[in-house]
Every structure is written in structure tokens, then in C-alpha cells.
Structure 1
Amino acid sequence: MNYLILDPSQKTNSGEFKIINPDRIIHILKVLQKKEGNKIKAGLLNESLGFFKIINISSREILGSYTPIIKPKRRSPGIHLIVSVQRPPTVEKILELAGVWGVQSLEFRLATLSRTEYLTSPVWKEENIKEKLILGMEQGGNVFLPKLELGFVPPGKKISFEKKGSISEIVTSSSRKFFYLDKKGKFIQESLSLEEKEYSILVGPEPGWTKKELEVFRKSNISGVRLSSSVLRSEQAVSFFLSQWENSLPRVRRTKS
């Protein structure tokens, strides 16, 4: 934890913030070795960066005051990640990466070769998703929580999953500026003009895109983006893309984001 991300729901009637998450309490006390009166770099969700000053510590909670210092801006142009359903550990890594970097939104949708048995995992629960995003945000000092959407309803005890819209379906029904990650595509510097305010990036499943999906992309004038000459795991592809994307931005835009 490089920054403690505070949620407005943690604010007490007297204006202080109450930390009750056991993992964060242990980290603050054992790893950071903070005591009453100490300050921690912190951020208020979707608002500001500043400092959290510890007022009182007990075994069950930490009470402190928050002082905002700067009001950061969202990254621009905005990045929307549309990720095909992955195995649960990969999903967790992508969630943390999205939180670290500060993507504008993150969608998980079914591709043709997505494995639907992954949909039974608790990783898709709202509280688990937010926890992983916050962990990434605390690492990177990003206060903007990515908007999240699931393109399916996870299965219940007596019902199977329900699909809301596959990747192929959304690209043919949306006017967004899409690109898809593909080993045969062009490098970022060749394919992105940075003239748009927002870009939507499609990340395929472990087995890759099908010929039918690639044909849908072609007919929709969606270009492929190449990240490496090697075959990358999905979380590696997301990491490679975000780092190469940031490096491709004009410096004036990077310093203002």
C-alpha cells in the first residue's frame, strides 16, 4: 500500500474516517508501523490526494482525519478495457492493473472461446471486484474508481448464466472507437492517432479470437494492435498495452493526467 484509499462511506458524523478492514489495519500497524499522530499518504475516492492522520487506534478500528492536498485529473484520452472472460486468478490481476493505472472503465464479456465454467467463481461478486480494484488504486495512487460492467449474469444455484452481450455483439452495435489486441496487428505508434477522447480496447480469451470474430472486426473497421512478438498471457497483454500506451502519449498529456 502506497496510498490509503478512503471511501466516503467510511466518514463518521464528526468528519473523521474510520478504518475497520482487518487487512488494512494490520498493514498500517505491522508493515507501515504507524502510531497515533502519524500521517499516511491517502486519497479520497474519486476526489483528491492528501494525508490521513491517525487519531486513535484499537484492535478493531483506526480513526483518523483526512486533509486533501491536490485534486488530480483523470487520464486523457480515456481507456475503456473490454476483456473477454478469463480464469479467476487472471481476472484478479487485470482488476488490480486497471486500478493501478486508472482506466476509465472495465468490462468483462463473453467471447466465442470464453470458458463459461469460470462464471461460477466468486471473483465476479461486486464486493470482491471492488476490493481488487481498490488494492490496485492503493498501489498506484489512483483515486478514480473504474466503472465496471459485466456482460453476463453469473449463474445461481438453480439457474445457468445469462449473457447480456458478447464482444462481437457490442462492437457491431456501438459507435465507440475500438481496437483489438492481436499479434498480427500494428504497433501502437502506427495504429493510434490519439485524436479521440476515448478508446475501447478489446482483449481476447486464452485460446484467442476466432475467424468469425476477426471477420466481425474487419467489417467494423476495427484495427489490431500488436504489443510483442511473443505470445502473451492476458494479464501480460493488458500490462504491456497500458505501459506502451502511456509511453506513446505526448509528454504534455502525461504530465496533466
Structure 2
Amino acid sequence: MNYLILDPSQKTNSGEFKISNQDRIVHILKVLQKKEGDKIKSGLLNDSLGIFKILKITPQEILGSYTPIIKPKRRSPGINLIVSVQRPPTVEKILELAGVWGVQSLEFRLATLSRTEYLTSPVWKEENIKEKLILGMEQGGNVFLPKLDLGFVPPGKNIPFEKKQSISERVSSPQTFLYLDKKGKFIQEFLPLEEKEYSILVGPEPGWTKTELEIFRKYNIPGVRLSSSVLRSEQAVSFFLSQWENSVSRLEGQRIRK
């Protein structure tokens, strides 16, 4: 934890913040070795970065005050990650990466070759998803919680899953899409980035089918190449976000010099 992310729901009537999550309490006391009167770099969800001062510690909670210092801005252009259903450990890694970097939104949807047995995992529960996103945000110092959308309803007891909208159906909406593909163009070839938002399609482990690729061509969606190597899904997301940030930074630098 590099930053403690506070939620407005933790604010008490007196204006202080109460931390009752036992994992965070243990981390603050045992790992960070903080005590009453100490300060922690912090952030208020979707608002600001600042300092949290510990006022009181009990076995059940930590009470403290929060002082905002700066108002960060969302990344621009915004990135909407649209990821095909992956194996649960991969989903957890992608959630943390999305939280670290600060994507605008994150969607998980079924692709043709997605493994539907993965939908039985508890990883899709809202509280588990938010926990992984927050862990990433606390690592990266990002205060903006990505908007989340599942293109399916996970199965329940004796109830099969329900598909809402697949990736192939999703691309018909009026957005600027790019899909990750080893045969695509490098990000630098798409410069300058003139749109306010870009939606990035991440395929399943077996890859895109011919039918899906034909649909992408139908809607004039270009492919993005990240490496000459075959990447795991979480590696592809990490490579993309890193290369995208580098390209945007260079572009901004060129504009400033002009």
C-alpha cells in the first residue's frame, strides 16, 4: 500500500474517517508500523490526494482525519478496457492493473472462445471486484475508480449464466475501438491521438476467431501490435497501458515544445 484510499462512506458525522477493514488495519499497524499521531499518504475516492492522520486506534477500527492536498485529473484520452472472460487469477491481475493505471472503465464480456466455466468463480462478485480495483489504486496512487460493466449475469445455484452482450455485439456502438492483435500496427502508428476516448478489445486465451476478426474489419476497427512475442492476457494489458502512456507523454512533450 503506497496510498490509503478512503471512501466517502467511511466519513463519520464529525468529519473524520473510520477504517474498519481488518486487512487494512493489520497492514497499517504491522507492515507500515504506524501509530496514533502518524500520517499516511492517502486519497479520497474520485476526489483528491492528501494526508490521513491517525487520531485513534482500537482493535476494531482506526479513526483519523483527512486533509486534501491536490486534485488530480483523469487520464486523457480516456481508456475503456473491454476484456474477454479470462481465468479468475488473470481477471484479478487485470483488475489491479486497471486500478493502478486508472482506466476510465472496465468491461468483461464473452468472446466466442471464452471459457464459460470461469463464470462460476467468486471473482465476479461486486465486492471482490471492487477490492481488487482498490488494491491497485492504493499501489498506484490513482483515486479514480473505474466504472465496471459485466456483459453477463454470473450463474447462481441451479441457474445458468445469462449473456447480456458479447464483444462482437458490443463493437456496433459508436465508439473508437482498437483490438489487440499480433498482426496489427504499433501504437506509434496511430499518433496523433485525436479522440477523447478509446475502447480497447482484449481477446481470450485462444485468441480471436475468424468471424470476430471479420466483424472488426466490417466496423473498420484496427489491430494494435504490442510485441513480437505471444503475450498472456494480463501481460498484454500491462504492455498496452505502458506503451500507451509512453506514446501520450511523448505527444504531449512535442506539443509543449512547439
**Partner SS for 2:171:** helix
Change (3 A) 1:252 1:182: closer
Matched, 1:244 2:243: yes
Structure 1 partner of 2:208: 209
- The 2-side partners of 1:237 and 1:20 are apart by 36
Q: Kindly indicate whether the alpha-carbon contact (under 8 Å) linking 2:92 and 2:123 is maintained by their aligned counterparts in 1.
A: yes
Structure 2 partner of 1:18: 18
- The 1-side partners of 2:29 and 2:201 are apart by 41
Structure 2 partner of 1:49: 49
Deviation at 1:158, TM superposition (A): 2.0
Q: Deviations over 1:91-122 (max 9, x none)?
A: 00000000000000000000000000000000
Number of aligned positions between the proteins: 253
- The 1-side partners of 2:194 and 2:153 are apart by 35
Change (3 A) 1:193 1:242: same
Q: Kindly indicate whether the alpha-carbon contact (under 8 Å) linking 1:76 and 1:253 is maintained by their aligned counterparts in 2.
A: no
- The 2-side partners of 1:223 and 1:193 are apart by 15
Q: Deviations over 1:49-87 (max 9, x none)?
A: 000000000111100000000000000000000000000
Percent identity between the two aligned chains: 87
5 Å matches for 1:158-177?
158-172=158-172, 174-177=173-176
Q: Kindly indicate whether the alpha-carbon contact (under 8 Å) linking 1:191 and 1:225 is maintained by their aligned counterparts in 2.
A: no
Structure 1 partner of 2:107: 107
- The 2-side partners of 1:175 and 1:16 are apart by 44
**Partner SS for 1:182:** strand
**Partner SS for 1:13:** coil
- The 2-side partners of 1:201 and 1:193 are apart by 17
- The 1-side partners of 2:225 and 2:88 are apart by 25
The amino acid that maps onto 1:221 is N
5 Å matches for 1:97-136?
97-136=97-136
Deviation at 1:253, TM superposition (A): 4.4
Query: 4+ residue stretches of structure 1 with deviation over 3 A?
Result: 250-254
Q: Kindly indicate whether the alpha-carbon contact (under 8 Å) linking 1:191 and 1:223 is maintained by their aligned counterparts in 2.
A: no
- The 1-side partners of 2:181 and 2:240 are apart by 11
- The 1-side partners of 2:237 and 2:168 are apart by 19
- The 2-side partners of 1:191 and 1:220 are apart by 17
- The 1-side partners of 2:42 and 2:129 are apart by 21
Structure 2 partner of 1:66: 66
Gaps of 5+ in 1: none
- The 1-side partners of 2:167 and 2:245 are apart by 25
Q: Kindly indicate whether the alpha-carbon contact (under 8 Å) linking 2:192 and 2:251 is maintained by their aligned counterparts in 1.
A: no
Q: Kindly indicate whether the alpha-carbon contact (under 8 Å) linking 2:4 and 2:41 is maintained by their aligned counterparts in 1.
A: yes
Matched, 1:75 2:75: yes
Deviation at 1:191, TM superposition (A): 2.8
Matched, 1:141 2:105: no
The amino acid that maps onto 1:163 is K
Q: CA-atom RMSD, angstroms?
A: 1.0
- The 2-side partners of 1:230 and 1:191 are apart by 21
Deviation at 1:252, TM superposition (A): 7.3
Deviation at 1:192, TM superposition (A): 4.5
Structure 2 partner of 1:199: 198
